[in-house]
Structure 1
């Protein structure tokens, strides 16, 4: 019996295991926590803090998805490692609302433990693979450095914590772009990152499903507690159609084509880093912000559109559209005209904010997304031209 914990690469699509899906459940809670926290602190500072939390949650999740692209989730040690990460992820998720308050240290310890602990496990799992082991030694150096800033921030107060955690996120996000360069260890070569395109594409798609599901949960929970006036019912329908539009836009023909492009690329690691590590954070942020906008339009469908309401009602779909635009550019190396037009149309809706209601603005942003999705479907272009 083989003692290797790595997947066997036989040229077939690496199936996403049930334990991977089980692991993802923790992040349903995390995404919900971020949405509720942003809704409760709808200020520039609150938006910055929510963005930082979303970036941290995404980073913890995408790094785990990368390692399970190599690891075989059917092996007992891998499953145990994922269960331990789930426990740390649950601690991270529960501390999110008070991450910049009383539970800052808990959040910092949970996040740093996920990043460093996962890498230590990988060093053991790939101990017989010199190339991967060297890569994860580099990653351990960067994660440990970021961990110092996370913990220091958790021990600090207010603005000091904000600055230290921004520095920590900067270290986390810049390290892959710098190929995890470490003095004495050199830098990683993306051509050596043997990525199975179908698996990584499916994993990111499943995370998007999680976020869309959170949006449906928020809409349903809020709608059930309100008096069902005509305007509230209309707002619920618009919110549902908006979620449907985002699903339609993400899971288009280009989503399937992207995994094929990565699989056939000369440097799949570089392509996957661009398309599935960095770009989706805008898509995820867009879904989270849109969920907040849906809740606002449900609670206050009529009347004047406040500046903060306009920011989330337009900003959420706009972030989602830009994220999809950049992801397509990263994979297919060409601008998607449909998404570019959609982004411009959404941005232009700022001009009508003084003339409409929250429900009207939500309907217009949903209309733009549906129109772009229908346009792309009508085109029926080859996937590589999408």
Structure 2
């Protein structure tokens, strides 16, 4: 009996409860990432957390591709997801100490998830479409190469670990671009990536919800421990409104446009790779960095370091850049939305001014929220 999804049925692209249960691990992972960045808010810490975030993202998105092909309602597939859940939990636990004493656990859990999943896909596709199975063989080769580098870096000295893991990330990033080319097997084609567009769009939207939920969680937990003075209350309100505006900008128009584009495309695999596998990295990263900025504003509303201001302004900037290009590609327009381009320009100017004028975190946060509000209102008025 085939374990592949049966395409063409009314609920063939429905996201299952077991997939939502699996995502709970990544709620924890996102929290670990934001807290790790808060504890080491400098250039080195940003590079390290950025690398750990990318590794976490690739584990999650490859699992999304796997459950897009295989039916998670089948017991065998469900068991594989539970195994990935355990490995993902170990990976999340090791994130704060991945560059100290638990690098081996982070690297080994990445290797276990990436290679174990693709080997399971190969076994599960036995007897199915030969081209699809060959596609899984190519993916296995690439993920074995990157997984080996993740594991080697985990067991390497702390000084060499960054180099090993940057090499591993480069392999992960290049795989889809190179269509998983393997000597002797050639490369995959877009026809091999016969994804269910509705499922892919919904899964990535759910990860955006995870990131936004973590942002609200951090804001609420921090605010609950502080005195309710005017500056703190204002910082809390700005953080909440900022999260609402990010939701608005993504879900009010972006989600619908992206969903329509991939569902009605003749090459949904291309859009799944470009719009969802790659572009959503910027969107989710912006929300995570924005959550770090919100906590910094709550804790120190009047005085902030340049690194704190970079997080406060950089989060919305990353988010707007990601959503602008996402909507551009989804709507096949000549340019990204003008509202988003103006918002990006205003945030860049704000970032430059914050250096010379020594803006307070509270003022910088208020300016960022004002920019997001301007972009959201402008886009809504134009489209409606």
Confirm or deny a common fold (TM above 0.5): yes
Q: Aligned residues, how many?
A: 378
Could you say which residue in structure 2 is the equivalent of 1:384?
none
Q: Is the 8 A contact 2:258 2:326 kept in 1?
A: no
Q: 1:342 offset after TM fit, Å?
A: 1.1
1:79 — aligned with what?
Answer: 78
Q: Is the partner of 1:251 in helix, strand or coil?
A: helix
Per the alignment, residue 361 of structure 1 pairs with 364
Q: Which runs of 5+ in 2 are unaligned?
A: none
Question: Which stretch shows the higher mean deviation, 119-128 or 180-189?
Answer: 119-128
Aligned pairs for 1:114-193 within 5 A? 114-127=113-126, 128-193=128-193
Q: CA–CA distance in 1 between the matches of 2:358 and 2:84?
A: 49
Contact 1:191 / 1:270 at 8 angstroms: preserved in 2? no
Taking the TM superposition and a 5 Å limit, the aligned residue runs for 1:186-225 are 186-225=186-225
**CA positional deviation for 1:201:** 0.5
Range 90-99 or range 256-265, more displaced: 256-265
| Displacement after TM superposition at 1:136 (Å) | 0.7
Match of 2:4 in 1: 6
Match runs of 1:1-386 below 5 Å? 3-10=1-8, 12=10, 14-127=13-126, 128-303=128-303, 305-334=304-333, 335-353=336-354, 354=357, 356-380=359-383
The answer to which of 268-277 and 9-18 deviates more is 9-18
Conservation of the 8 A alpha-carbon contact between 2:135 and 2:192: no
Give, in whole Å, the separation in 1 of the partners of 2:56 and 2:350: 30
TM-score (norm 1): 0.96
Residue range with higher mean Cα deviation, 372-381 or 222-231: 372-381
Equivalent pair of 2:316/2:368 in contact (CA under 8 Å): yes
Question: 1:63-109: per-residue Cα shift (whole Å, max 9, x none)?
Answer: 10111111111110011000000000000000000001100000000
Task: Tell me the alpha carbon deviations over residues 19-42 of structure 1, each in whole angstroms, 9 at most, x when there is no partner.
Answer: 000000000000000000000000
Mark the runs of 5 or more structure 1 residues left unpaired by the alignment.
382-386
Secondary structure of 1:279 counterpart = helix
Per-residue deviation, 1:365? 0.4
Deviation at 1:192, TM superposition (A): 2.5
Structure 1 residue 158: deviation in Å?
Answer: 2.1
Encode CA deviations 1:244-301: one digit per residue, 9 max, x unaligned: 0110011022311322211221211011100000000011110110011000000001
Distance across 1 between alignment mates of 2:331 and 2:190: 18
Q: CA deviation at 1:11?
A: 5.4
Q: Is the 8 A contact 1:191 1:266 kept in 2?
A: no
- Counterpart contact for 2:142–2:172, Cα < 8 Å: yes
Find the aligned partners of 1:330 and 1:372 in 2 and give their Cα distance: 18
Query: Separation in 1 of the partners of 2:230 and 2:382?
Result: 36
1:335-373 deviations in Å (ceiling 9; x for gaps) = 221211111111110243225311110011011112111
Distance 1:11 1:338 in 2: 39
Give, in angstroms, the shift of residue 376 of structure 1.
1.1
In 2, Cα distance between equivalents of 1:154 and 1:306? 32
**Secondary structure of 2:140's partner?**
helix
Give, in whole Å, the separation in 2 of the partners of 1:196 and 1:12: 12
CA 211–132 in structure 1, closer or farther in 2 if over 3 Å, else same: same
Check the 8 A contact 2:254/2:326 in 1, yes or no: no
Q: Distance in 1 between matches of 2:115 and 2:57?
A: 16
Q: Distance in 2 between matches of 1:32 and 1:44?
A: 20
Name the SS for the 1:37 alignment partner. Answer: helix
Q: Structure 2 length normalisation: TM-score?
A: 0.96
Q: CA deviation at 1:196?
A: 1.2
